[in-house]
Structure 1
Amino acid sequence: MKPINYKRASTLDELEQIRTLQLQNSSQNISAEEKLQEGFVTVQHTVALLEQMNSASAHIIAKNNDILVGFALVMLSSFRNEIKVLIPLFERIDGIVSKDKIFVVMGQICVAKNYRKQGIFRGLYHFYREELQHEYDYLITEVAAINLRSMQAHEAVGFKTIDNYEEDGIVWNIMLWDWT
C-alpha cells in the first residue's frame, strides 16, 4: 500500500469524495452498534457548501493514490449560519472564547472504515495544525457526548472539553485545541 498523502483539497472530485465518505458514515446511515464501535458524523454538507468553505480555506484530506480516505473540514466563522445544527456551537463560542483569540472550527472529521486504526485521524489533525497554526490560536470542534470513540480520539490529539450543551436531546461537548 502506498503511503497516505495529506494535502489541502483542490478539486471538485475531492469535494465529491468528501461528500460520499460523509454519507457512508452519517448517523442516519449506520446501525446503533456501528455508531458505538466506529463513531459517526452528524452533519451532511452539500457539494456546493463544501466548495464555498473550501474556497475560503481549503479542507484537509488524506489520500491513498487517487482515493480520498479521510477528511477534516475547515469551517471559518463566516459560515456560522450556513448549517442550522452548528449555530448553537458558534453562539456558545462567542460567550466562551476571548475576543482577542482567533479560532477556526473543525467542521467535521472522518476516516474511511478500511483505513481506521492506522493513525490517519491523528495525521489529519497534525497536518491541519501544521497548515493553520500560523493563522489561528485555537481549533474548536464539538462532539456528541454519546460518540465515545470520537471523544477519546479528540482528547488523545490534545483537545480539551471547554463547555457542553443540550440541543434536541443530544449533549454536545465543545472541545478546544490550544495552538498558542
Structure 2
Amino acid sequence: MITYKTSENDTELEGILSLQKANLKIGLPEGEIESQGFVTVDHSLEVLQRFNQIEKHVIAKDGEKVVGYVLAMTKESRFDIPILLPMFEVFDNIKFRGKVVSAYNYMVVGQVCVDKDYRGKGIFGDCYLTYKQHYSEKYDFAITEIAKSNLRSLKAHNRVGFEEVHSYLDPDQTAWSIVVWDWKNSK
C-alpha cells in the first residue's frame, strides 16, 4: 500500500537520493531518457536537509521504501544549488497574471520522480495532490522548469494542472519550459 507524507528524517531523505540517482539523465541510456523521462540535478543529503528545514518534501512510500517524491523549495533556497540560480533569475523577469513571478509567494518544485517499477499507478498525481494539500494555503502556486526534451514530464505536469507560462533557451542551447500550477485559480 502506498502512503503519502512529508519527509521527516535522514532515512527518508536518503531514499529520495537513491531514487534520484537511479533516474539522473547523465546515467541513463538515450532510449530510456526519451521514453521514461529523467531528473537533472544531483542533490546532496545536506542540501535536502536544508530544504526540508524550510518546507518538507512530499514522498510516496511502499512500506519503508521511498517510491516517489516532490522536492519542496522556496525563495530562501535560491542560492543553495548554483545550477538552479538561472531559473530563479528567469522567475525574477517573467510575468504571471500581470505581476513578475518573484512578487508572489510561491513554491518551487525542486524535482519530482517516481520509481520505474511504480509508474503508471497514479503516484505522480497523488504526490502532487499531497503537495498541494500541504502548501496551497501558504503559497500562491507551484512553479518549476522542465527541459523541453523531457516529454514524459511535460505531459505528466500538464495532466496535474500545470500550464506553461514561459519558455527559453539556456546558454547551452537547452530549451526549458517554465510551468505553473496556480493553486488560487484552479480546481
Q: TM-score, normalized by length of structure 2?
A: 0.93
Give the one of 24, 37, 40 matched to 2:35: 37
Q: In structure 1, what is the equivalent of residue 50 of structure 2?
A: 52
Amino acid at match of 1:18: I
Q: Please, which moves more after superposition, 159-168 or 42-51?
A: 159-168
Give the one of 83, 89, 100 matched to 2:81: 83
- Distance, in Å, in 2 between the alignment partners of 1:52 and 1:77 is 13
- Distance, in Å, in 1 between the alignment partners of 2:104 and 2:51 is 21
Is the partner of 1:28 in helix, strand or coil? helix
Identity of matched residues, %: 39
Give the one of 149, 152, 161 matched to 1:149: 152
Q: In structure 2, what is the equivalent of residue 175 of structure 1?
A: 179
Q: In structure 2, what is the equivalent of residue 96 of structure 1?
A: 94
Q: In structure 2, what is the equivalent of residue 67 of structure 1?
A: 65
CA 81–111 in structure 1, closer or farther in 2 if over 3 Å, else same: same
- Distance, in Å, in 1 between the alignment partners of 2:67 and 2:104 is 32
Q: Please, which moves more after superposition, 4-13 or 165-174?
A: 165-174
Is the partner of 2:85 in helix, strand or coil? helix
Is the partner of 2:13 in helix, strand or coil? helix
Once the 2 structures are TM-superposed, how far is the Cα of residue 100 of structure 1 from its aligned partner?
4.7
Structure 2 runs not aligned, ≥5 long: none
- Distance, in Å, in 2 between the alignment partners of 1:100 and 1:45 is 27
Q: Please, which moves more after superposition, 169-178 or 77-86?
A: 77-86
Amino acid at match of 1:54: N
- Distance, in Å, in 2 between the alignment partners of 1:77 and 1:32 is 33
- Distance, in Å, in 1 between the alignment partners of 2:155 and 2:9 is 32
Q: In structure 2, what is the equivalent of residue 19 of structure 1?
A: 17
- Distance, in Å, in 2 between the alignment partners of 1:146 and 1:14 is 29
Q: In structure 2, what is the equivalent of residue 108 of structure 1?
A: 111
Instruction: Write out per-residue CA displacement over residues 22-74 of structure 1, whole angstroms, 9 at most, x where no aligned residue.
Output: 00000011101000010000001000100010011110000011111001000
RMSD (CA atoms):
1.0
Residue 119 in 1 paired to residue 117 in 2?
no
Is the partner of 2:27 in helix, strand or coil? coil
Q: TM-score, normalized by length of structure 1?
A: 0.96
Instruction: Write out per-residue CA displacement over residues 133-174 of structure 1, whole angstroms, 9 at most, x where no aligned residue.
Output: 000011001100000000000011100111111121211100
Amino acid at match of 1:73: L
Structure 1 runs not aligned, ≥5 long: none
